[in-house]
């Protein structure tokens, strides 16, 4: 599907976004906006290729990928990202269907709560909203431990600790972090290059994991909200946050194939089940009709 790339100036940033297909769509369907965070648009290429009949829009959040920021900040908040998406959706014509992955799902939660008319159907795939967990205090402590390892020992050690965090089955205890895998366990570089700018490990995205969804606004608004989790994520951190959020919204968790990155088809060296993932997404979007 041909792809055009454009930019949009918003307060404090210039956003780069891609459009695959026609605007407006010839069949009258809403554009489908795919959003990640801290992942940029480069992670959605395979998923978009399995949805050739939809107009697909992807974008890089401010300060990530091709999008620049001039606001002097390095943090990534759902509130700011939602304002950026609201501006982008206005540029696209006013209403979209939305698929949000990870931090992108958290941005979507704030967008839908604040601007419900922006979205027809919103699929929130594994939003890491730790505050909804019964063991939230222990989960936040585990997150801080990962960031401490990153600050003290660099990217490889920090990423190994993050993988351990996301692999925990069930509730967290105060024991997390006493013993952690080394970088070499996962084939990661053990050398420390001195860099501390990774948004996943540095704390720049702490506002994402600390975000508390507005359940009343999400249930009262006009947008259809579907909370989803990958079957291979079962009982890990982002499955549990998704299940707890779905329960708070009075719905059953919608199950997708594969894992947290189940839509990936080689991006970042990861292979999910993108064809099956796209089919499940299509099923959910079509059900809204």
Between 155-167 and 136-153, two packed helices, what is the crossing angle to 10 degrees? 160
Q: Which residues of 94-114 are buried (b: 16+ CB within 10 A; e: fewer)?
A: ebbbbbbbbbbbbbbbbbbbb
- The whole-number pLDDT of residue 289 equals 60
What local confidence, expressed as pLDDT, does residue 205 receive?
87
CA distance 135 to 112: 26
Of the candidates 109, 75, 27, the residue with the CA atom closest to the CA atom of residue 205: 75
- 59: nearest Cα among 114, 1, 3: 3
**Length of the chain in residues, anyone?**
289
Q: C-alpha distances in angstroms, 225 versus 121, 196, 246?
A: 6, 36, 9
Q: What is the pLDDT of residue 1?
A: 66
How far is the C-alpha of 161 from the C-alpha of 164, rounded, in Å? 5
Q: What is the CATH number of domain 3-129+211-287?
A: 3.40.50.1820
Lookup: tokens for 131: 């505050």
> What pTM was estimated for this model as a whole?
0.96
Neighbouring-strand partners of residue 121: 224
Domain boundaries, the chain: 3-129+211-287, 136-186
- Residue pLDDT tens, the chain, 289 long: 689 999 999 999 999 999 999 998 888 999 999 999 999 999 999 999 999 999 999 999 999 999 999 999 988 899 999 999 999 999 999 999 999 999 999 999 999 999 999 999 999 999 999 999 999 999 999 999 999 999 999 999 999 999 999 999 999 999 998 999 999 999 999 999 999 999 999 998 899 999 999 999 999 999 999 999 999 999 999 999 999 999 999 999 999 999 999 999 999 999 999 999 999 999 999 997 6
Question: Do 29 and 54 meet the contact criterion of CB atoms below 8 Å apart?
Answer: yes
């Amino acid at each position: 599907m041909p792809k055009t790339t454009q930019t949009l100036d918003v307060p404090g940033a210039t956003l780069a976004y891609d459009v695959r297909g026609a605007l407006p769509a010839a069949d009258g369907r809403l554009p489908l906006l795919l959003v990640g965070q801290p992942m940029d648009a480069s992670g959605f290429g395979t998923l978009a290729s399995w949805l050739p009949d939809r107009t697909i829009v992807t974008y890089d959040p401010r300060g990530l990928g091709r999008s620049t920021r001039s606001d002097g900040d390095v943090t990534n908040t759902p509130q700011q990202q939602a304002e950026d998406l609201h501006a982008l959706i206005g540029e696209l014509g006013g209403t979209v269907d939305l698929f949000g992955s990870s931090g992108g799902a958290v941005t979507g939660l704030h967008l839908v709560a604040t601007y419900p008319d922006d979205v027809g159907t919103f699929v929130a795939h594994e939003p890491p909203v730790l505050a909804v967990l019964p063991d939230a205090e222990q989960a936040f402590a585990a997150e801080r431990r990962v960031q401490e390892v990153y600050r003290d020992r660099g990217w490889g050690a920090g990423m190994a600790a993050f993988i351990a965090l996301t692999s925990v089955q069930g509730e967290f205890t105060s024991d997390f972090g006493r013993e952690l895998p080394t970088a070499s366990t996962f084939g990661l570089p053990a050398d420390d290059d001195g860099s501390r700018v990774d948004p996943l490990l540095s704390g720049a995205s702490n506002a994402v994991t600390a975000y508390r969804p507005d359940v009343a606004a999400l249930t009262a608004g006009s947008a259809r909200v579907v909370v989803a989790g990958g079957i291979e994520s079962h009982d890990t951190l982002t499955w549990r946050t998704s299940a707890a959020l779905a329960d708070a919204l009075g719905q059953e968790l919608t199950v997708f194939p594969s894992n947290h990155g189940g839509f990936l088809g080689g991006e970042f060296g990861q292979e999910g089940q993108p064809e099956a993932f796209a089919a499940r997404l299509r099923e959910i979007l079509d059900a809204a009709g």
